[in-house]
Amino acid sequence: MTSKGAVAGRPGIVASALAVVGMLTLVLVLPQVGMGQAADERVVYMSLIEPKGGVTVDKEPFPGTQMPKGGGYVLNPPNPQGRWEVSVYQFSPATVVVRQGERVTLEMVGINGAKHSVHIDKYVPNHAVVKRGEIGRVKFTADTPGIYKIHCEEHQPSMEGTLVVLPR
Ligand SMILES: [Cu+2]
């Protein structure tokens, strides 16, 4: 009874305290909303993959195409059973679009290939290494609009992508 009476007897104090909390909330939150930065987080999920095709020579002859060097294209000649295979290393997706000012996280999962050393012009100069079965996270703030090349050291020329930073 006593404490209930005490609270009921001080509605003015409670209302004042609520008002102060409300004002503090506005003071703390409004500038961030106004700047448009606080909510500008973007996470992009990329898989490091290797689409593959194969067939036996009794169905399709081995083409023997001269592939560019660099590790991105793989053409394996027929094995003892006569099966040959072709594959290409890629980023999926290969094009990443963000807005200027966003804090970007690229989350890359290694699916195929033992290791990828991934660079992004301007934003990730000191490559990120992603191994098969691991997740590599790269974080940066996209402060300058433009089109930037994403590439993997081990799998050229095919393992390339594009980062597009749209002007705000
Ligand atoms: Cu690679």
The predicted-structure confidence for 53-88, as pLDDT tens digits, reads as follows 999 999 999 999 999 999 999 999 999 999 999 999
Ligand 1 centroid to 110 CA: how many Å? 9
Write down the pLDDT at residue 8: 46
Ligand 1 centroid to 64 CA: how many Å? 23
- From residue 29, alpha-carbon distances to 36, 42, 125, 126 in Å are 11, 20, 34, 35
Same domain (yes/no): 80, 144: yes
Ligand 1 centroid to 138 CA: how many Å? 15
Same domain (yes/no): 15, 95: no
* 113 contacts 155 by C-beta, under 8 angstroms: yes
Same domain (yes/no): 27, 49: no
Ligand 1 centroid to 117 CA: how many Å? 6
Same domain (yes/no): 14, 81: no
Same domain (yes/no): 24, 94: no
pLDDT under 50 in the chain at which residues?
1-9, 18, 21-38
Same domain (yes/no): 59, 26: no
Give the C-alpha separation, 61 to 110, whole Å.
32
- Quote the tokens at residue 42: 């973007």
Phi/psi-derived region of residue 116, left when phi > 0, alpha when psi is between -120 and 50, beta in every other case: beta
| Domain housing 112 | 41-166
Ligand 1 centroid to 55 CA: how many Å? 24
Ligand 1 centroid to 81 CA: how many Å? 29
Same domain (yes/no): 106, 27: no
Ligand 1 centroid to 133 CA: how many Å? 13
Write down the pLDDT at residue 10: 56
- From residue 47, alpha-carbon distances to 58, 67, 91, 106, 107 in Å are 34, 24, 6, 10, 8
- Quote the tokens at residue 119: 């660079």
Which helix (H) or strand (E) covers residue 129, if one does? strand 124-131
Write down the pLDDT at residue 34: 43
User: What CATH number does residue 100 fall under?
Assistant: 2.60.40.420
Total number of domains constituting the chain: 2
pTM for this structure?
Answer: 0.75
